[in-house]
Each structure stands twice: as structure tokens, then as C-alpha cells.
């Protein structure tokens, strides 16, 4: 599993040490010149880049025309096409439209399953495969995870819920051994230890260890009990702080140790 943690501007260069690839948020690419320059240099250096659509941060996907311009300029290795939060019908409709849009050679389209039930997710997954998507993503925060796993700790329920869904889809033969999966974010960092021997799980992105650092939380030996409340946009323009950097380096290292992830 390759891992990338989204970081504030001041920590971008240091993220090259602990990130296996670079994860781009298009709304930040347009808002901050230093962020844009970082990704242009990353591309020039041959680093792997996955471009998001900023749904999680903005509540809806970023402007389509502008995202296509960024894709043509940067040519990321993967692009997560626009999805609609917990709406499988509109997400499948978007996936059908984007399946007809030509992207530069070498850019893999990634579709995100959405819905309000396991049935919605299964339908999404089947449709995306039928449309020819080579890689499919699962978000961390869907409310149906808590319906499936009624845990008093809602963050624990979401983590266990996504584990249950992925294992169920593998058991039922819906996710096949050759499929490629991306995991968007996490409620709790220790979730990923359950995917250690699943070759389908290719990539993970989560700012969790970074946001915990900004709350001055060191990961416990098992991870965390509660998801950090701070979000990347809240601290994106924060000044560099040596103490925060110490927390970041500790947490990003612990993240891989907790989840038995070998650095690539």
C-alpha cells in the first residue's frame, strides 16, 4: 500500500520524506502558487501524483473545466473523477459521462463509490466496472458505515464499517483479485492494518497523522480513539513550527508501524 498525507504549505517539502506519492487538491492548486509550484516540480522529478476533485473539502466537486485544464497541464498519474456525496445515482451518471471524456495518455480515471446503503455501493461498483474503470475508491465518512456497524464510538464504527464493506465485496467475488482500490481518508488510522494482505488496496490518502499533530496529539501504540477535528483547510497557511514538525514525523512513522506498511 502506498500512502500519502496531505500537509499544509509550510510542510510540503518535508512531506517528500514520508509520502510515497503526492496527493493534489485542485482548489488549493489554484489558490496557492507555492502549492502549484510544488506539484509542477513533483511531476518534473517523476513522482507519482493522484489528483482529487476536492469534494470532501468543498462539499461538491471542483469546477470541471478548470480540473480538465489542470489535468492537461500537470498530467497526474490518476484523477479521481467528480462524485456526489452519498448519491449513487448522480455518481454513476457522472461516471458514465466521464468515461467518454478523453484525458492525456497515462492518466488513470478513478471512480468513487457513493450511496446510503451497501446495496447502493454494490450497484455503483458493478456499474463502474462495466464502464471500464480500472480503479475504484471508497470514502471513509459515509453514514451507512454506522448503520452497518452500530458502535458507540462513531469513528470506530466508520472504520469497522469500511472494513466490513470491502471484506464483504471480496468474499462475494464483487471485488476481484486483480481489481485496484484507493481508500479516501480515514476515521481512525489503525483501520489499515486489516488490509495488509489485500493486494487490491493500492493507495491510501489521509491527513489524519498531520491533523493529529496540529492538535498536538501523538499517536498511541494502537492509533487513536477519536478522529482529529482539525481539517487541512483550517491550517493550510499555518507557519512552520518545529514542535508541530516533531509531532508530524512521529505520527507519520507510527502510521506505517501501526499498519505494518513497508516503506516503498
Residue 196's pLDDT is what? 87
Residue 235's pLDDT is what? 96
Task: Assess contact for 188 and 212: CB atoms under 8 A.
Answer: no
Q: How far apart are CA 35 and CA 23, in angstroms?
A: 11
Residue 127's pLDDT is what? 98
121-158 pLDDT, tens digit each: 999 999 999 999 999 999 999 999 999 999 999 999 99
Residue 195's pLDDT is what? 95
CB contact set of 173 (below 8 Å; sequence gap of 6+): none
Residue 214's pLDDT is what? 97
Domain boundaries, the chain: 2-258
Dihedral of alpha carbons 167, 173, 174, 179, sign: positive
Give, for all 264 residues of the chain, the pLDDT tens digit.
Answer: 999 999 999 999 999 999 999 999 999 999 999 999 999 999 999 999 999 999 989 999 999 999 999 999 999 999 999 999 999 999 999 999 999 999 999 999 999 999 999 999 999 999 999 999 999 999 999 999 999 999 999 999 999 999 999 999 999 999 999 999 999 999 999 999 999 889 999 999 999 999 999 999 999 999 999 999 999 999 999 999 999 999 999 999 999 999 998 654
To 5 degrees, how large is the angle CA 122–CA 126–CA 129?
140
Rg value, the chain, Cα: 18
3-state percent helix, strand, coil for the chain, nearest multiple of 5: 45, 15, 40
DSSP 25: -
Residue 257's pLDDT is what? 95
Closest listed residue to residue 112, CA positions, set 130, 88, 132, 131: 88
Residue 261's pLDDT is what? 87
Task: Assess contact for 110 and 81: CB atoms under 8 A.
Answer: yes
Q: How far apart are CA 254 and CA 122, in angstroms?
A: 33
Residue 263's pLDDT is what? 54
Residue 264's pLDDT is what? 43
Task: Assess contact for 196 and 259: CB atoms under 8 A.
Answer: yes
3-state secondary structure of 111: strand
The CATH code of the domain at 2-258 is: 3.20.20.105
* DSSP of 112-141: EE--SSHHHHHHHHHHHHHTT-SEEEEES-
| Count of beta carbons in the 10 Å neighbourhood of residue 190 | 20
Amino acid at each position: 500500500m502506498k500512502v500519502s498525507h496531505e500537509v499544509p504549505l509550510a510542510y510540503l517539502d518535508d512531506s517528500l520524506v514520508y509520502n510515497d506519492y503526492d496527493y493534489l487538491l485542485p482548489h488549493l492548486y489554484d489558490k496557492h502558487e507555492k502549492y502549484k509550484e510544488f506539484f509542477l516540480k513533483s511531476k518534473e522529478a517523476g513522482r507519482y501524483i493522484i489528483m482529487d476533485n476536492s469534494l470532501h473539502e468543498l462539499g461538491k466537486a471542483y469546477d470541471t473545466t478548470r480540473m480538465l485544464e489542470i489535468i492537461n497541464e500537470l498530467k497526474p498519474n490518476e484523477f479521481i473523477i467528480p462524485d456526489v456525496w452519498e448519491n449513487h445515482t448522480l455518481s454513476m451518471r457522472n461516471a458514465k459521462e466521464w468515461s467518454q471524456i478523453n484525458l492525456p495518455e497515462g492518466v488513470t480515471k478513478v471512480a468513487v463509490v457513493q450511496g446510503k446503503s451497501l446495496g447502493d455501493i454494490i450497484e455503483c461498483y458493478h456499474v463502474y466496472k462495466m464502464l471500464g474503470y480500472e480503479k475504484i475508491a471508497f470514502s471513509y465518512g459515509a453514514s451507512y458505515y454506522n448503520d452497518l456497524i452500530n458502535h458507540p464510538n462513531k469513528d470506530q464504527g466508520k472504520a469497522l464499517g469500511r472494513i466490513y464493506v470491502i471484506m464483504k465485496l471480496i468474499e462475494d467475488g464483487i471485488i476481484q483479485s486483480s481489481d485496484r482500490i484507493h481508500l479516501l481518508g480515514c476515521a481512525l488510522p489503525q483501520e489499515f492494518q486489516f488490509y495488509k494482505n489485500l493486494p487490491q488496496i493500492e493507495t491510501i490518502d489521509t491527513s489524519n497523522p498531520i491533523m493529529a499533530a496540529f492538535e498536538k496529539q501523538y499517536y498511541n501504540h494502537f492509533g487513536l480513539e477519536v478522529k482529529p477535528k482539525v481539517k487541512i483547510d483550517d491550517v493550510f497557511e499555518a507557519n512552520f513550527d518545529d514542535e508541530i514538525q516533531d509531532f508530524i514525523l512521529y505520527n507519520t512513522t507510527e502510521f506505517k508501524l501501526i499498519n505494518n506498511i513497508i516503506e516503498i
